[in-house]
Amino acid sequence: MRVYVSGVGVVSGIGIGVEENMEALRQGRHGMGKVTLFPTTLDVPVSEVKLSNAALKQRLSLSAGRTFSRTALLGMMAGAEALRDASVDPSSLRIGLLSATSVGGMDLSERFYETFREDHRKGRLRQVASHDCGASTEQMAAYLGTTHYVTTISTACSSAANAIILGARLVRQGVLDVAIAGGTDALCRFTLNGFHSLMILDRAHCRPFDNSRAGLNLGEGAGYVVLQAASTLRRTPYCELSGYANVNEAYHQTGSSPDGDGAWRSMGEALRMAGVAPHEVSYINVHGTGTPDNDLSESKALRRIFGEEVPPFSSVKPFIGHTLGASEGIEAVYSILAIQRGVMYPSLNFTTPIAETGLVPLTQLREGTSIHHVLSNAFGFGGNDSSLLFSALLESPLTP
């Protein structure tokens, strides 16, 4: 059974909704700036969604007095857009929500702790109740009205890719008619300080695949796709999710293998599932975090699969930051829109190729391009590596 993408929704540091995001990508307008969501002594650039929690609640028509984590609010915004876009009738279909996150409700827990630390008799316990990763998913499901099947994936930076993979498998096996899949994550002190302790935050704007790369910039946001079989479609889909793979090389707790073994396997298995040869790939949305080890590892994997004919590729993380559990939700949306709108995105800040591989990403926007297959990578801590392959439609799958 083929799995099609019928709806997309996205919120990021460069825009609310698909059109704002696409316009920023076209204009080369990134979302990096100083941290404003919470006090911190770290002077590093991040990409924040340009709305407060109160403004998000207002846009979502939620009560100002109710407690929601920022992770849940961002997910609601993107998930609702994807569901509207797909024109799905929730009353007659088995709809599941597969949401990924790494932060969960940690932003609320940090607020609770500030009060609790001063006086152990104080603090709003309802904030702690949202700490678990699954809490944001449950709140999203209630808001979207999708309670037939609800689950949460948390595999670090490959989380959203794995949510999409699981959603596709459930649709293919007839367990669900519709899967809303993707991820959401909000910035918080814990992740900012955690990545600082790993010494992989760049104090300047990140430079994926550049020889001078020195680390990543964090971001926040949410991205979701709606997956369906042909029999339940109510509109012409964007494309097909033709291949996917998840592998776990388990090389290191946080680092990738030097030769890119996991990335090589995940990309290769996704291509084999789809029956697509390497030379047929039109564009690659690389993981491309900007850290020295990750980019070298991924570039070696690209060389192993594509040899001297590596397709056009780029990283969008200089635009939106590394959004952790949400990253492949957002970047899957960008990959799908690349096919639908014939566009390839630039890698910002690139000047000099990595000495060991010599690979040069796209540095200018390309438009009006016929794109047949887009490979999108998401590689997480522990070597949990995932690749998705989106393919243009050869014919409409809508039943007459």
Mean pLDDT value across residues 114-133:
62
pLDDT of residue 306: 98
Range name among 34-48, 98-112, 156-170, 371-385 with the lowest pLDDT average: 98-112
- Provide the pLDDT confidence category of residue 152 given band limits of 50, 70 and 90: very high
pTM: 0.95
pLDDT score, position 399? 61
Average pLDDT, integer, range 325-348: 98
Identify the sign of the CA torsion 44, 47, 53, 55.
positive
pLDDT digit string, tens, across residues 19-62 = 999 999 999 999 999 999 999 999 999 999 999 999 999 999 99
CA–CA–CA angle 183, 184, 187 (5° rounding): 145
Residue 131 to residues 58, 78, 162, 248: CA-CA distances in angstroms? 23, 21, 21, 27
Domains and CATH numbers, the chain: 4-391 (3.40.47.10)
What integer is the mean pLDDT of 377-389? 89
Give the lowest-confidence range in 58-62, 122-126, 335-339, 356-360.
Answer: 122-126
Give the pLDDT score at 124.
64
Predicted confidence (pLDDT) at residue 189 exceeds the cutoff of 80: yes
Q: Which of 195-204, 235-244, 249-258, 301-310 has the lowest mean pLDDT?
A: 249-258
Q: Which of 113-127, 172-186, 204-218 has the lowest mean pLDDT?
A: 113-127
pLDDT for residue 240? 98
